[in-house]
Structure 1
């Protein structure tokens, strides 16, 4: 038997004051329990129990050892119970990195479903750009990220969830300009409203436009998708936004989509996490819910 097993037997015998009762609790035979105690006494070169017709009792040395060994065994037992709780999702924490816009328009229904299934799991939601979220994953600040793709990092596992379409939108002031389909060259001559340059969404659109030999110089660079929509609504320019996250404005007639001759290629939103690190039970279950719902 290992040293840990010997101490478990020792503590059980000490608590039960009987080899036979300890054997019953440990699902062992009484001779096996007796042999374990004798082995521990030999290794420690100390008598731990006094055997009598009424049972077994700790010696002074045995009482001293029991004081420490029992605490240690109990700590291990509690640790095993807590680990089981984590695996069964009766406790734990789900740590997600995500941007404000993706939280609002994509993530919330899945968080609601997860919470309904596993109400004892705590949430830690950290907002940031795709680059900031990737840094958080690598540092252990969050377990998974819900990010804008494409994401070029060989260290990440990527699971695309939904396709999204980048478009340009405008307010009432620009209605006459867009009476028919226009080219990107025509669009970039107008006042442009874009996300800030460190945004993955901005980089994707800017790279595509640049591949056509067109350079952009936005008049406004903003930190949120919501502000892009609001700035376009008050006619400060033409905003580059995501169609799927702009439905409220488009359906209400507050903004209009620029009819492009050639649409910007679609991209994805998805889950990312480190290949080299095992997901926590809560994160693994959340990813499963995402995949099942989207399939």
Structure 2
């Protein structure tokens, strides 16, 4: 028997004060219980019980050992129960890295449904760019990230969830200038409004434009998608935005989509997490929830 098994037998005998009753509780034979106690006494070179016709009673050494062993076994039992609770999603924490825009336009409905299903799971939402979120995943500060793809990192598992289209939008001032399908070269001659250079979506569009032999130098570089829309609305320039996250402005006529002769290729947003580490039960269920809703 392992040392842990010996201590479990020892504590049960100490509580029941009888080998037969302890054997019944442990689903063992009485000789097996007696042998376990004798083995533990030999290993410790100490007598733990006094045997009498009325049962067995702890010696002074046995009482001292019982105080520690019983506490340790109780801690192990509580730990096992906590693991079971985590597996059953009756407790736990889900740590997600995500940017403001994706959180607002993509993530919120899934958070709401997950919370309704598993109300005892708490959320920790950490804000950041795609590069920052990837670093947080690798450091263990978040379990999963919801990011702009593409991501070039062999250490991460990538699960695309939604295709998005990058477009240029403008206010009323530039609408007439950009009437009809126009080339990228024509658009880039105008004042440009882009996300800051470290944004993954900005890099994707800029790389595509560069592949056409066109270099850009934005007049405004902003930290949020919402500001792109607002700056374009007041005619400060032509903004590069995600079409799916700009519906409200486009549908209300606050902004106008620039029709390009050649559309920017679609990209994805999706879930990413470490390949080398198993997801927690809560993280696994959350990823499944997103994928089941989408597909």
TM-score normalised by length of structure 1: 0.98
- Give distance in 1, aligned partners of 2:208 and 2:281: 39
Report the counterpart of residue 12 of structure 2 in structure 1: 12
Secondary structure at 1:235 match in 2: coil
- Give distance in 2, aligned partners of 1:27 and 1:289: 42
Secondary structure at 2:136 match in 1: helix
Gap regions ≥5 residues in structure 1: none
Report the counterpart of residue 239 of structure 1 in structure 2: 239
Report the counterpart of residue 185 of structure 2 in structure 1: 185
- Give distance in 2, aligned partners of 1:183 and 1:144: 38
Q: What is the CA-CA distance between 1:290 and the residue it aligns to? A: 1.2
- Give distance in 2, aligned partners of 1:27 and 1:256: 76
Task: State the 4+ residue runs in structure 1 displaced beyond 6 angstroms.
Answer: none
Report the counterpart of residue 25 of structure 1 in structure 2: 25
Q: How many pairs does the alignment contain? A: 295
Report the counterpart of residue 57 of structure 1 in structure 2: 57
- Give distance in 2, aligned partners of 1:22 and 1:234: 81
- Identify which range, 12-21 or 133-142, moves more after superposition: 12-21
Gap regions ≥5 residues in structure 2: none
- Give distance in 2, aligned partners of 1:9 and 1:91: 31
Report the counterpart of residue 131 of structure 2 in structure 1: 131
Q: What is the CA-CA distance between 1:53 and the residue it aligns to? A: 2.1
Cα RMSD (Å) of the superposition?
0.9
Q: What is the CA-CA distance between 1:28 and the residue it aligns to? A: 1.6
Say if 2:275 is the partner of 1:275: yes
Report the counterpart of residue 117 of structure 1 in structure 2: 117
After superposition, where does 1:203-282 map in structure 2 within 5 Å? 203-282=203-282
Report the counterpart of residue 106 of structure 2 in structure 1: 106
- Give distance in 2, aligned partners of 1:289 and 1:20: 51
Secondary structure at 2:260 match in 1: coil
Q: What is the CA-CA distance between 1:280 and the residue it aligns to? A: 1.1
Q: What is the CA-CA distance between 1:179 and the residue it aligns to? A: 1.9
Secondary structure at 2:158 match in 1: strand
1:107-132, Cα deviation, whole Å (9 max, x unpaired):
11111111111111110110100000
After superposition, where does 1:52-201 map in structure 2 within 5 Å? 52-201=52-201
Secondary structure at 1:147 match in 2: strand
Report the counterpart of residue 41 of structure 1 in structure 2: 41
- Give distance in 2, aligned partners of 1:19 and 1:99: 62
Q: What is the CA-CA distance between 1:281 and the residue it aligns to? A: 1.1
1:148-172, Cα deviation, whole Å (9 max, x unpaired):
0000011111100010000000011
Q: What is the CA-CA distance between 1:20 and the residue it aligns to? A: 2.0
